[in-house]
């Protein structure tokens, strides 16, 4: 025998009709061209289908068991191609079609949502701002107002599919007559036809344009936040409702202030004498010039916290803090007079021959830095 149909389906010669059917269903799911487009798999699908055609027919199976091949030289079977046999017919018979939408496609559909990312400054995230952007989008066709038809024209029912949006054909196969449904080529699946489309939009009911949109960015936003503008996306096919426009925030890095959540951090250099004696220094913050009081004996790594001067909470009156990290500046070069004064100071403080002193980690510089950043 040229073909072993039992081996092709993976069943034994004693397999029942139900066993043969189950084996074919399993293989058809794996090899059908709609599922597996590999040409080699399509050839296997042909072999599997031929084997099922033989073994599911009692007379053909008896002939095969007696040593003949009922499919040899055509064998009275249904060929693949010459008779217009469609792989989808068998698949539809077993599995209920391709799972697509049934019935006409609606002409009026909702438009797509759109996402745009914009950069904002730290100042804008703190105070909020009104921004404008120019985008390419789709609007309702001004000529046909979304109908898609030329003036004094109308939409009519498709005469080919009678408004169903699909056509049905009956194909003869080894399983009997198989009915399949396909999208109507005449109306494109809409169920209706437009004999005279709008000259402006070509029956889409919408046209492309460029427009400028104004919107508010509220105080407290940060990178990753999105602002939803309802109905400011593209108008849908057939003049359908517009989708939404989403504005995603990307906060630019500030040269001085570093944001961590709602808190702001910055560094301030303080002269050695000011740190020792105390002083009041000026700091230009985002909200204006403020006085920073340096207490006598301030050390490098100290943090001065100004409550409620950080970034506002989104949709809240609460605010974070402004944390000022102090760095005490030691003179790199001193003149003769300054050196003499420093030597006198060292003598007065008994620091002429200082020795290094190990500081406990709990009270040291790195501990203060870690505490300032929340222990991280």
Instruction: Supply the DSSP string of 339-360, one letter for each residue.
Output: HHHHHHHHHHTT-SS----PPP
pLDDT at 274 over 90: yes
| Both structure tokens of 27 | 């293989």
DSSP bridge pairs for 183:
166
For residues 229 and 269, membership in a common domain is answered with no
Whether 129 is in a domain gets the answer: yes
Whether 30 is in a domain gets the answer: yes
For residues 136 and 162, membership in a common domain is answered with no
Whether 104 is in a domain gets the answer: no
Question: What pLDDT does 77 receive?
Answer: 36
Q: Which domain holds residue 173?
A: 155-194
For residues 268 and 312, membership in a common domain is answered with yes
Question: What pLDDT does 260 receive?
Answer: 94
For residues 121 and 227, membership in a common domain is answered with yes
pLDDT at 80 over 50: no
Phi-psi sector, 196: left (phi>0), alpha (psi -120 to 50), beta: beta
Question: What pLDDT does 360 receive?
Answer: 66
Domains held by the chain: number: 4
For residues 185 and 82, membership in a common domain is answered with no
| Both structure tokens of 345 | 């100071």
Cα distance between residue 51 and residue 237, in whole Å:
47
Task: State the pLDDT confidence band at 273, using cuts at 50, 70 and 90.
Answer: very high
For residues 167 and 138, membership in a common domain is answered with no
pLDDT tens-digit map of 142-165: 999 999 999 877 889 999 999 999
Mean pLDDT of 61-88: 53
For residues 132 and 184, membership in a common domain is answered with no
pLDDT at 76 over 50: no
For residues 277 and 327, membership in a common domain is answered with yes
pLDDT at 86 over 60: no
Question: What pLDDT does 72 receive?
Answer: 59
Whether 232 is in a domain gets the answer: yes
For residue 29, the SS3 value is helix
pLDDT tens-digit map of 87-139: 444 444 444 444 445 678 888 999 999 999 999 999 999 999 999 999 999 99
pLDDT at 65 over 70: yes
Q: What predicted TM-score, i.e. pTM, was given to this entire model?
A: 0.61
Question: What pLDDT does 121 receive?
Answer: 95
- The enclosing domain of 51 has a CATH number of 1.10.287.110
């Amino acid at each position: 025998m040229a073909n072993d149909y039992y081996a092709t389906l993976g069943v034994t010669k004693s397999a029942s009709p139900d066993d043969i059917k189950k084996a074919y269903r399993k293989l058809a799911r794996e090899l059908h061209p709609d599922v597996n487009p590999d040409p080699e798999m399509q050839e296997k699908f042909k072999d599997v289908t031929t084997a099922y055609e033989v073994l599911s027919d009692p007379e053909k199976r008896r002939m095969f068991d007696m040593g003949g091949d009922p499919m040899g030289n055509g064998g009275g079977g249904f060929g693949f191609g010459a008779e217009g046999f469609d792989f989808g017919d068998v698949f539809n018979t077993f599995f209920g079609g391709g799972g697509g939408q049934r019935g006409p496609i609606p002409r009026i559909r909702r438009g797509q949502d759109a996402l745009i990312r914009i950069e904002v400054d730290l100042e804008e995230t703190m105070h909020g701002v009104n921004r404008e952007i120019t985008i390419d989008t789709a609007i309702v066709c001004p000529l046909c107002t979304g109908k898609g038809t030329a003036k004094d024209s109308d939409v009519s029912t498709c005469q080919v599919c009678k408004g169903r949006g699909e056509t049905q054909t009956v194909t003869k196969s080894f399983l009997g007559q198989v009915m399949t449904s396909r999208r109507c080529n005449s109306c494109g699946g809409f169920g209706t036809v437009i004999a005279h489309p709008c000259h402006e939009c070509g029956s889409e009911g919408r046209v492309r344009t460029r427009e400028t949109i104004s919107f508010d960015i509220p105080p407290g936003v940060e990178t990753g936040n999105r602002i939803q503008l309802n109905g400011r996306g593209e108008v849908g096919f057939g003049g359908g409702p517009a989708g939404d426009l989403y504005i995603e925030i990307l906060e630019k890095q500030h040269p001085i202030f570093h944001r961590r959540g709602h808190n702001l951090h910055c560094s301030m250099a303080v002269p050695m004498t000011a740190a020792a004696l105390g002083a009041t220094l000026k700091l230009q913050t985002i909200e204006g010039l403020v006085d920073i009081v340096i207490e006598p004996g301030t050390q490098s790594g100290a943090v001065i916290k100004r409550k409620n001067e950080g970034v506002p909470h989104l949709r809240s009156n609460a605010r974070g803090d402004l944390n000022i990290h102090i760095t005490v500046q030691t003179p790199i070069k001193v003149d003769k007079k300054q050196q003499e004064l420093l030597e006198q100071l060292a003598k007065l403080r008994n620091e002429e021959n200082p020795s290094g002193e190990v500081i406990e980690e709990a009270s040291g510089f790195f501990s203060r830095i870690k505490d300032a950043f929340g222990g991280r």
